[in-house]
């Protein structure tokens, strides 16, 4: 009997120790998760900051003259390349296959110019937005009780922005590497007369002779600067949009948590007043975002629909294009689709958190309270509508917008195929250098 009792005690001790170890493991795992999310947040912040700093459009005060001149230089580069590509497109307007190559790049550089103009012109508004959200968020990060709450779901937004940066950077790099590979292949084949392929379809003010190295060097330098401008501006602007919306969502999450733990016996008036003031501040932040990013989003969804259409059209001609062009077009199309999805998903993310906040207001047991003032305060908060982002009062920024862009791209694609069929019947094919298309043929 004594041995049986002793055995039971040993089992109890064993399971007690096992429970303690399991509890410690869970606590450590939770702490590691919190630290991981915090690292992801700072990585997200520095990604946005570095990309926008390259172009001189990060919202900070007291910048140098050189920093203030950077966006103007970037605008000049984007406009110069746009004009050069448009000249090429005009020269080959009757060849749909060649025209679409130039059209997609033209729209991309126009988009870059628009982003630079909007972020530079509304710099003071962006500084207000940045400082307002950053101040609140830093206070939340220093509070160990709510740090875990505000950093939820940041991985998804950061991962999308990081993939976009890699995709846009990769496609820009591919445009520059393909001509170099083509040059090396010709050297290895010991060709007497080297054909220098331009990085992209463009007609520059200097000579377009593809058998002389100097114009090719000018082309490479121009497109190298242009690629840096395109990558930094595109990825920096597109990453800053979900970043600011995440900070707004974090504020809503903190307010929801506060209301979930409130009752009429607490100092409810101060809590509700604080939530009302913060919500008012977030509405002002939303106004700035709609003013700055609204035109960018409208132009992005229109241009991306056209660009995706032209790239799908290029990829549909696999028998007439080289492997190099196919890879570049695939990377470029993927980055454009992802770019649209980032804007759409970020808008849906904010709206979802706003709806959760409204639900938290309704669920704080206000109907059971005997205090009329408490019930009235809750009713005032309930009168607020869910927060949505509207681009130029024309379209709601949500996942539905992404679906609409894809549908429009497919429609444009079939229109292009119809145009090509008619043109092939009415005119002969142009004999022109096909640039990257001849690389692996």
Confidence band for 126, pLDDT divided at 50, 70 and 90: very high
Tens of pLDDT, residue by residue over 410-433, are 887 777 777 666 666 655 444 444
CA dist., res. 17 & res. 21, Å (int): 6
Answer with the residue of higher pLDDT: 249 or 268.
249
- Token look-up 């399991």 returns 22
Least confident segment among 30-34, 107-111, 435-439: 435-439
Q: Is the pLDDT of residue 361 over 80?
A: no
Which tens digits make up the pLDDT trace of 312-344?
877 776 665 666 667 777 777 888 888 999 999
CA distances from 221 to 81, 169, 176, 215, 271 (A): 12, 16, 10, 10, 58
Give the Cβ contact number of residue 289 at 10 Å. 24
Q: Is the pTM of this model over 0.85?
A: no
CB 335 within 8 A of CB 239: no
Q: Mean pLDDT, the chain, as a whole number? A: 79
Distance, CA of 193 to CA of 211 (rounded, Å): 7
| pLDDT on residue 265 | 55
Strand partners, 163: none
Q: Measuring CA to CA, how many Å separate 398 from each of 106, 118, 200, 231, 401?
A: 26, 22, 33, 24, 6
Ramachandran assignment for 56, one of left (phi > 0), alpha (psi -120 to 50 degrees), beta (any other):
left
DSSP state of 429: P
pLDDT for residue 108: 86
d(CA 71, CA 57): 7
């Amino acid at each position: 009997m004594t041995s049986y009792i002793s055995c039971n005690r040993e089992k109890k001790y064993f399971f007690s120790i096992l429970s303690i170890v399991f509890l410690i493991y869970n606590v450590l795992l939770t702490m590691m998760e919190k630290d991981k999310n915090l690292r992801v947040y700072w990585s997200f912040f520095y990604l946005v900051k570095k990309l926008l700093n390259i172009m001189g459009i990060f919202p900070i005060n007291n910048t140098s003259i050189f920093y203030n001149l950077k966006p103007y230089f970037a605008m000049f580069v984007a406009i110069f390349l746009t004009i050069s590509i448009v000249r090429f497109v005009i020269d080959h307007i009757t060849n749909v296959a060649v025209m679409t190559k130039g059209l997609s790049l033209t729209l991309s550089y126009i988009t870059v110019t628009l982003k630079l103009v909007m972020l530079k012109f509304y710099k003071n508004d962006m500084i207000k937005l940045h400082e307002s959200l950053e101040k609140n968020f830093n206070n939340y990060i220093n509070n160990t009780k709510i740090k875990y709450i505000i950093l939820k779901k940041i991985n998804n937004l950061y991962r999308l922005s990081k993939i976009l940066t890699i995709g846009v950077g990769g496609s820009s790099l591919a445009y520059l590497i393909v001509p170099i590979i083509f040059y090396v292949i010709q050297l290895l084949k010991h060709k007497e007369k080297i054909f220098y392929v331009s990085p992209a379809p463009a007609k520059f003010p200097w000579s377009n002779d593809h058998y002389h190295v100097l114009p090719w060097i000018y082309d490479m330098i121009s497109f190298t600067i242009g690629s840096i401008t395109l990558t930094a501006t595109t990825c920096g602007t597109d990453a800053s949009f979900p970043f600011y919306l995440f900070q707004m969502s974090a504020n809503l999450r903190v307010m929801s948590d506060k209301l979930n733990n409130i009752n009429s016996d607490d100092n409810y008036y101060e809590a509700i007043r604080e939530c009302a003031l913060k919500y008012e501040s977030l509405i002002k932040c939303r106004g700035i975002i709609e003013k700055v990013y609204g035109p960018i989003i409208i132009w992005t969804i229109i241009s991306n629909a056209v660009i995706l259409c032209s790239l799908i059209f290029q990829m549909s001609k696999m028998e007439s294009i080289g492997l190099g062009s196919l890879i570049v077009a695939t990377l470029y199309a993927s980055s454009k689709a992802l770019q649209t999805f980032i804007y759409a998903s970020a808008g849906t993310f904010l709206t979802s958190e706003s709806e959760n906040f409204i639900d938290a207001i309704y669920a704080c047991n206000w109907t059971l309270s005997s205090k009329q003032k408490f019930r009235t305060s809750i009713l005032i908060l309930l009168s607020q509508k869910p927060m949505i982002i509207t681009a130029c009062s024309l379209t709601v920024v949500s996942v539905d917008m992404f679906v609409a862009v894809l549908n429009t791209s497919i429609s444009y694609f079939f229109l292009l195929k119809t145009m090509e069929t008619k043109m092939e019947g009415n005119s002969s094919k142009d004999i022109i250098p096909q640039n990257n298309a001849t690389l692996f043929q």
